[in-house]
Amino acid sequence: MINRFLKPMLPSLSTDLPKGENWVYEVKYDGFRCLLYWDESSIIMTSRNGHELHTIFPEIPYYLKNLQGKIKHLLPLLIDGELCILENQFKASFEQIQKRGRLKQNDRIKKASELFPSSFCSFDLLALEGKYIYQQLFLQRKEKLQHLLHMLGVHTDEVSLTSPINYIPFTSDKVKLEKTVQTHESEGIVAKDITNKWSPGERANKWIKVKNLRVNTFFILGYDTENGFFHVGVIKDQTVFFTGLFSHGISPEEKEALIQIVKKNQNGKSGSFISLEPSICVDLSYLELYKNQLRQPRFVSFRFDVHWEECTWESLQKSH
């Protein structure tokens, strides 16, 4: 028999996608990594950290239970995928999945499942007929997954916004998928080596994730000596507007130099935070704006050629 949960295999993060005849590419959706276990008596969805998701997103097991007769002979099975709330065929809503993931009360869960229905976007098949198949090669697993979904009546050529279960297709056309991901503001791309075998709990170099990052210019608002983060902002409605904080990406030498500049030119201190009048501009990469703040910001470079008043909310919105 198979376990209801395996610690998932994870992709390695990179800034560049690998190239070569052994590599194929899939859209990376912004949701909850999820393993779906299905046997004759239950459907259990588990997050990468081992938390149950089927009680918070009940529309998925409800939908699948009604189709169980079509694939009963293939149970128990285990599918790997991403639990998403889709905005378009190539992008999932981080904000909506976070909101739904926090719900506890059954009536609110039911209402949310109707207003913002989720979709289990599957990309790998780990077990079938009560036997593990994750040591089979990638293309074999994908073919079996595709066949399984066909039996359930799921179209596998593209992701459907209205289907509670989807299949994430792969392509060998890296350039075309990169353009698609940029156009639709997807989270990114996962490159997969077709010779890969699925390894529980491993962060593998056979799976490479590249995020679809934006880059914009911000000014420094200050530095927190307690947590080591710099605060940044832009001009919005003729006032200084906080947009986030960063610490990653900047070299130790650059960080120390910036700290000294902030300390020497500070215009006040509150607790551990040293504030600075807008003057120093930096380029930051980030995934998206979430509740008007930067997600996963990272230092790229100083922008000594930019005046701080050029860092506006309007220019930030143009890239979204």
By annotation, the residues acting in catalysis are: 28
Write the Ramachandran bin of 133: left for phi over 0, alpha for psi from -120 to 50, otherwise beta.
Answer: alpha
Two tokens, residue 26: 């899939």
Find all residues with CB under 8 Å of 176, minimum gap 6, and list them. none
C-alpha dist (Å) from residue 42 to 37, 76, 223, 278: 8, 10, 51, 57
Cβ neighbours of residue 243 closer than 8 Å, sequence gap 6 or more? 218, 232, 233, 234, 289, 292, 293, 294, 316
Neighbours of 20 (CB within 10 A): 8
Question: DSSP assignment of 245-287, as one string?
Answer: EE-TT--HHHHHHHHHHHHHTEEEEETTEEEE-S--EEEEEES
Q: At what angle do helices 94-101 and 106-115 cross, to 10 degrees?
A: 160
Rg of the chain in Å (alpha carbons): 23
Geometric angle at alpha carbon 187, from 184 and 193, rounded to 5° = 110
Mention every residue, 6+ apart, whose C-beta is less than 8 A from residue 265.
276, 277, 279
Could you tell me the CA-to-CA distances from 300 to 171, 214, 218, 246 in Å, in that order? Answer: 30, 11, 11, 11
Alpha-carbon distance of 288 to 308, in angstroms, equals 21
